[in-house]
Each structure stands twice: as C-alpha cells, then as structure tokens.
C-alpha cells in the first residue's frame, strides 16, 4: 500500500486565514479567558474579511475586537507578505470586520447554571476523533510527520536564512509512504511546491532554475535523514538523489503567482492537514478561530491526548477514539475505541478505563488541558498534533490507565 499525506506552509492562503482567526482568538483570551469566539477569515487579492460571533466579558477584550485590523496586518506581515508586486501585502490590503455576539440560545447551553442541565454543556452536537500510532516518536503517522517536518524546514530557511532570498511564503509538501500492512517501509515520493520570485527562474524557460531546484531537493533529503525516515535513503550518497525516493520540486516548473493573489484562503479548509493526514478519521469540524467551549476543537484535542496515552501505556500500538456530544449536554453521548487488532485488552475494556481516568465533560477537559489561554495561533501553522509543546500531546497517564483496566 502507498499512503500519502500533505502539509501546507504557514504562507498558504488557507493557513493564513487560520492564523488570523486564531490570532484574534489569542488576543481575546489574553484579556478574557472566558471569552467565546467563532471567528472566520477569508483572504483574496487585496482583501481580508473577518467575521463571526464573539462574546467578550470586559472592556479590554472588547477593545481587542476594535483593534482586530491591526492584529490581521501583524499576522500577514509576520508571515512575510510584504511585497506589493506579489498581489497581496500587509500594508495595502483592505481589511473588513463583521463580528457580532454569540446567539443567546447557544450561550445558555454552554454557560454553567443556565440551560436545561445546569452544567456547562457542549457548544454544539458533533463527533470528534483522536489517533495515535507508535510508528514515530511523536506518535503521528509517518506521512504527515514527514510532510510537516519538510514544510517546517522550508519555512525556517525562508524566514531565517539568507541563502534562499528568492523563496516566497506560499507552498506545500506531500509525502507518499510505502506500507506493508501497518508497517512503514520506505518513502516512495515527495512532492514539494514552493513559491519563488522571478530571480530564481531560468531566463530562457521562465521555470525554476536547475540550481535552485537541486538546493531544495537537498533540503528535502536532509530533512528525511534528520527525521530518521524509514527507507534506505541514508545509503544514497548521503543526500544524493537515488532511486528509492522520487523528489518532485515545483513539478509545473514555475510557481511565482501564489498566496491570496493566486488562490483564495478560508478558515477551516485544511482539516486533514491539521490532523492526521487522512490516516485517522475526521469528524468534520474545523479548529481555528473557535474557543475551547466548542467541542469541535477541545474534544478533538482531548481525543488525541487519550489516544496518545493509550499507545504510550502499551495498551495498543495504534488507537483511534471517537467522542460524540449533544449541544448543551455535559457528558459525551458516545465513546468508541478502535485499536485495529493491536490492543492488549479489548476495546470495550480500554474505553471503560478511559472514562475512569479522563474527564470528558467540556469543563473537565478544558480544565484538564488548560485550554483557556492564548496559544492557538501556533497550532494553525504546522498541524494541531505532534508538537510536544501542546498540552494535549503530554503523556503520564500510563499507570492510571493500566490500573483502571
């Protein structure tokens, strides 16, 4: 089997929209940890539109909303859209803001002491999945792990290095991995598409010149070696292109027109990039711009946290968990565990242990993971899972889980 996953750079239009939404959320939580938000962003040539629903409980948080345009421009500038010739830059783009209060009908269901049930309920009905596997140290599948690693390397050299002044912010990476059943064997293909200036083009063809292409191929291979990718690439002249892995760099030949000028961007349009690269299932809810009362976000983080602890506890080599909620109701209406035949105990016994060990109400999981703090813009850059600095990536519940079986 050949399984593929992709990552996109923070300068991709959809990821820019995600970061803007989460930057506004972070600025609200900085002033009001109890703020509620569902902020959506749309970007296109010369225009950013920010809309959604926000409930702020103090004047400082409300001031943040009045300064949202400054937040938007700061994000765009930090990403690197500072050249008007690219069709989009932080100084000249128009910014439109249309934000109103959260529906009172929803609010009473997620406010403790209000609604039918008294407890803080889920902000919506829905289902969320978490996944973990022991095939990488991050407990992420190899294809998405490598895709993010290569994207991060490309982003770092663009942001920090002077050797690649011709790189622009937009880009994406796709990794195709050969599996024998559930066992990863080798990387078959890497596709890297990265925006560049005319300075890196061949004057005859207008395509990315061979020297620049080779430099990017070298970075791809170096990253794979650094990550310990499961293939024989280390034997290929230590960074020389060999026959085991095919690397396509800008396979159309040219990628000068990019960013919002080349493709519109929208919050929540990269949900598979944000999660497990398609290896685990997805409940359908996006993350960015949503405060943690929205279980689309917080319960998906908790599901990853639980799945990772199950694998860390050696209860299974692979684990997928589904949580399901009803709007306004605190306890999940469903929990399902699938260990794909790798479990040391039955799925039902593991599910019972999960209920005993982890708090699964919206308030419980928010408190358990410490989600009412400004930390979300970073999640919108290289996926929401696999980064050990995120609280839902922590382990430490191995003993408790095994004792509860």
pLDDT tens readout for residues 263-320: 999 999 999 999 999 999 999 999 999 999 999 999 999 999 999 999 999 999 999 9
**Rounded-to-10 torsion of CA 92, 93, 94, 96:** -140
Say if residue 252's pLDDT is above 50.
yes
Say if residue 105's pLDDT is above 70.
no
Q: What is the pLDDT of residues 368-400, one digit of tens each?
A: 999 999 999 999 999 999 999 999 999 999 999
Which residues in the chain are classed under CATH 3.30.300.10? 2-7+142-258, 13-103, 126-133+269-278+293-404
What secondary structure letter does DSSP report for 386? S
CB atoms within 10 A of CB 258: 23
- Top mean-pLDDT range of 94-103, 228-237, 302-311: 302-311
Q: Does domain 126-133+269-278+293-404 have CATH number 3.40.190.10?
A: no
Q: What is the pLDDT of residues 60-81, one digit of tens each?
A: 777 777 889 999 999 999 999 9
In this prediction, residue 239 has a pLDDT band, given cuts at 50, 70 and 90, of very low
User: Domain 13-103 belongs to what topology?
Assistant: GMP Synthetase; Chain A, domain 3 (3.30.300)
Phi, psi of 3 (to 5 degrees): -115, 135
pLDDT (0 to 100) of residue 119:
61
Calpha distance 277→258 (Å, rounded): 23
* CATH number for the domain running over 2-7+142-258: 3.30.300.10
Percent of the chain with pLDDT over 90: 65
In this prediction, residue 186 has a pLDDT band, given cuts at 50, 70 and 90, of confident
DSSP string, 354-381: HHHHS--SHHHHHHHHT-SSS--TGGGT
| Overall pTM > 0.75 | yes
Q: Are 8 and 14 spatial neighbours (Cβ–Cβ below 8 Å)?
A: yes
Cα–Cα separations (whole angstroms), residue 40 to 124, 126, 229? 17, 19, 36
Say if residue 231's pLDDT is above 80.
no
pLDDT (0 to 100) of residue 86:
80
Contacts of 329 (CB under 8 A, 6+ apart): 117, 121, 122
Q: Can you read off the two tokens belonging to residue 119?
A: 């407890």
């Amino acid at each position: 089997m050949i399984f593929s996953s992709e990552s996109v750079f923070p300068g991709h239009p959809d990821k820019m929209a995600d970061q803007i939404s989460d930057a506004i959320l972070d600025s609200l939580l900085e002033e009001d940890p109890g703020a509620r938000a569902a902020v959506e962003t749309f970007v296109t040539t010369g225009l950013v539109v920010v809309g959604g629903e926000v409930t702020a409980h103090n004047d400082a948080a409300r001031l943040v909303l009045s300064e949202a345009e400054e937040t938007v421009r700061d994000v765009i500038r930090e990403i690197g859209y500072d050249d008007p010739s690219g069709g989009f830059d932080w100084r000249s783009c128009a910014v439109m803001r249309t934000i109103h209060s959260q529906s009172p009908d929803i609010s009473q269901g997620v406010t403790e002491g209000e609604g039918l049930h008294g407890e803080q309920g889920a902000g919506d009905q829905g289902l969320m999945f978490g996944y973990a596997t022991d095939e990488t140290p991050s407990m992420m599948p190899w294809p998405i792990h490598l895709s993010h690693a290569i994207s991060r390397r490309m982003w770092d050299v663009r942001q920090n290095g002077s050797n690649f002044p011709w790189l622009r912010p937009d880009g994406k990476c796709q990794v195709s991995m050969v599996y024998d059943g559930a066992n990863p064997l080798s990387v078959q293909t890497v596709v890297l598409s990265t925006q560049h200036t005319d300075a890196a083009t061949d004057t005859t063809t207008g395509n990315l010149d061979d020297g620049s292409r080779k430099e990017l191929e070298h970075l791809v291979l170096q990253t794979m070696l650094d990550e310990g990718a499961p293939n024989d690439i280390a034997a290929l002249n230590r960074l020389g292109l060999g026959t085991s892995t095919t690397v396509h760099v800008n396979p159309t030949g040219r990628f000068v027109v990019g960013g919002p000028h080349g493709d519109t961007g929208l919050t929540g349009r990269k949900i598979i990039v944000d999660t497990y690269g398609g290896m685990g299932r997805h409940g359908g809810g996006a993350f960015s711009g949503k405060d943690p009362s929205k279980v689309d976000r917080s319960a998906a983080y908790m599901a990853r946290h639980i799945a990772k602890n199950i694998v860390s506890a050696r209860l299974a080599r692979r684990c997928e968990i589904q949580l399901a909620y009803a709007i306004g109701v605190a306890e999940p209406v469903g929990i399902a565990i699938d260990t794909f035949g790798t479990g040391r105990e039955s799925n039902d016994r593991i599910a019972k242990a999960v209920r005993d060990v982890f708090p699964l109400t919206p308030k419980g999981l928010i408190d358990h993971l410490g989600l009412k703090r400004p930390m979300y813009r970073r999640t919108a850059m290289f996926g929401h899972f696999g980064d050990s600095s995120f609280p839902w990536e922590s382990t430490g519940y191995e003993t408790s889980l095994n004792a509860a079986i």
